[in-house]
Amino acid sequence: MAELTIAASEGITPQQNAPLLEVKDLKTYFPIKSGLFNRTVGYVKAVDGISLTLQAGETFGLVGESGSGKSTVGRSIIRLTEKTSGEVLYKGNDLYNMPEKELRHLRPKMQLIFQDPYSSLNPRVRVGDAIGEALLNHGLAPKEETRDRVLDVLQACGLSSYHIDRFPHEFSGGQRQRIGIARALILNPDLIIADEPVSALDVSIQAQIINLFRKLQMTRGLTYLFISHDLSVVEHLCSRIGVMYLGTMMETAPRDELFTHPLHPYTKALLSAVPVPIPRLKRERIVLKGDIPNPANPPAGCKFHTRCPYATDICRQLVPEFRHMGSEHYVACHLV
Partner 1 sequence: MKNNVIEIDHLSTYFYTEEGAVKAVNDVSLRIREGETVCIVGESGCGKSVTAMSIMGLVEEPSGKVVDGRIHFEGRDLLRIDKHELRQIRGNDIAMIFQEPMSSLNPVLTIGMQVMEPLMEHQKLSKKEARKRAIELVELVGISRPEQIVDSYPHELSGGMLQRIMIAIAISCNPKLLIADEPTTALDVTIQAQILDMLRQIKEESNTSILLITHDLGVVAEIADYVIVMYSGKIVEEGDVVELFEHPLHPYTQGLLRSKPIIGQRQDELYSIPGQVPNPLELKESCYFYDRCEHCMSICRTQQPVLHSRAGRQKVACWLYEEGVSHG
Binder of partner 1 out of 49, 188, 235, 316 (CB under 8 A): 235
Report the residue from 73, 233, 244, 333 that binds partner 1 according to the rule CB under 8 A. 233
Stretch near partner 1 under the rule CB under 8 A, chosen from 24-32, 79-87, 94-102, 228-236: 228-236
Phi-psi region of 304 (alpha: psi -120 to 50; beta: other; left: phi over 0): alpha
Binding segment (CB under 8 A) for partner 1, from list 1-9, 102-110, 176-184, 204-212? 204-212
Exactly one of 17, 36, 281, 326 binds partner 1 (CB under 8 A); which one? 281
User: Nearer to partner 1 by C-beta: 6 or 281?
Assistant: 281
Q: Which is nearer to partner 1, 25 or 291 (CB)?
A: 291
Distance CA 216, CA 210 (A): 10
Q: 222-247 burial, b if ≥16 CB within 10 A, otherwise e?
A: bbbbbbbbebebbbebbebbbbbbbb
Minimum CB separation of residue 275 from partner 1 in Å reads 3
C-alpha span between 318 and 206 (Å, rounded): 41
Report whether 202 contacts 169 (CB < 8 A). no
Q: How many CA atoms lie within 13 A of 307 on its CB side?
A: 21
Where on the phi/psi map is residue 329: left (φ > 0), alpha (ψ -120 to 50), or beta?
beta
Closest CA to 137 of 181, 187, 193: 187
The 154-183 site mask, x for binding partner 1 (CB under 8 A), equals ------------------xxxx--------
Check binding of 204 to partner 1 (CB under 8 A): yes
Measured CA to CA in angstroms, residue 256 lies from 49, 163, 272, 285, 335 at distances of 25, 40, 16, 20, 22
Interface with partner 1 in residues 39-98 (CB under 8 A) = 65-66
* DSSP structure string for 106-171: HGGGEEEE-S-TTTTS-TTS-HHHHHHHHHHHTT-S-HHHHHHHHHHHHHHTT--GGGGG--GGGS
Choice between 101 and 285, CB closer to partner 1: 285
What is the secondary structure of 182-198 as a DSSP string? HHHHTT--SEEEEESTT
Q: Is 250 in the site for partner 1 (CB under 8 A)?
A: no
Neighbouring residues of 120: CB distance < 8 A, sequence distance ≥ 6: 114, 180
The partner residues of 249 in beta bridges, in order of sequence, read 244
Contact 44, 295 (CB under 8 A): yes
Q: Give how far the C-alpha of residue 292 lies from the chain's centroid of Cα atoms, to the nearest Å.
A: 21
Could you say which of 165, 291, 313, 328 contacts partner 1 (CB under 8 A)? 291
User: Residue 99 or 279: which CB sits closer to partner 1?
Assistant: 279
Nearer to partner 1, 137 or 211 (CB): 211
Nearer CB in complex with partner 1: 40/232: 232
Residue 319 as a binder of partner 1 (CB under 8 A): the answer is no
Q: Could you say whether residue 207 binds partner 1 (CB under 8 A)? A: yes
3-class DSSP assignment, residue 25: strand
Asked if 254 interacts with partner 1 (CB under 8 A), we say no
Residue 145 makes contact with partner 1 by CB under 8 A:
no
Q: How many residues sit in the footprint of partner 1 (CB under 8 A)?
A: 42
Identify the residue among 229, 299, 316, 319 touching partner 1 (CB under 8 A).
229
Q: How far is the CB of 302 from partner 1 (least distance, A)?
A: 16
CB of 269 to partner 1, least distance (A): 6
Pick one of 17, 123, 287, 327: the residue that binds partner 1 (CB under 8 A).
Answer: 287
205 lines the binding site for partner 1 (CB under 8 A): yes
The values of phi and psi at residue 104, to 5°, are -60, -35
Q: Which residues bind partner 1 (CB under 8 A)?
A: 65-66, 172-175, 202-208, 210-211, 214, 229, 231-233, 235-236, 259, 269-281, 285, 287-289, 291-292
